[in-house]
């Protein structure tokens, strides 16, 4: 079931309609891109110090 929510932007004054799909809530906690996650973890292990 999809739910539509209408909100008004405070800064610009635009009206925006957001559609919420309940199907996406079922994906919570699942890894959607395991190869990308593995690649990111591998790259992060190589980093010794973050730049300031």
- Whether the Cβ atoms of residue 21 and residue 2 lie closer than 8 Å to each other: yes
Tell me 50's DSSP state: -
Question: Comparing 16 with 32, which gets the higher pLDDT?
Answer: 16
User: Sorting pLDDT into bands at 50, 70 and 90, what band is 9?
Assistant: confident
Does the global pTM surpass 0.85?
A: no
Distance (Å, rounded) from C-alpha 39 to C-alpha 18?
32
Average pLDDT across the chain, whole number:
79
Domain ranges of the chain: 2-48
Q: What is the pLDDT of residue 46?
A: 79
User: Which residue shows structure tokens 């635009």?
Assistant: 14
- Calculate the dihedral angle through the C-alpha atoms of 9, 15, 21, 25, rounding to the nearest 10 degrees: 10
Q: What's the token pair of residue 19?
A: 């559609």
Q: What is the pLDDT of residue 50?
A: 64
């Amino acid at each position: 079931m999809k739910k539509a929510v209408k909100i008004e932007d405070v800064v610009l004054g635009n009206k925006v309609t957001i559609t919420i799909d309940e199907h996406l809530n079922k994906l919570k906690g699942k890894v959607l891109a395991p190869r990308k996650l593995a690649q990111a973890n591998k790259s992060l292990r190589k980093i010794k110090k973050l730049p300031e």
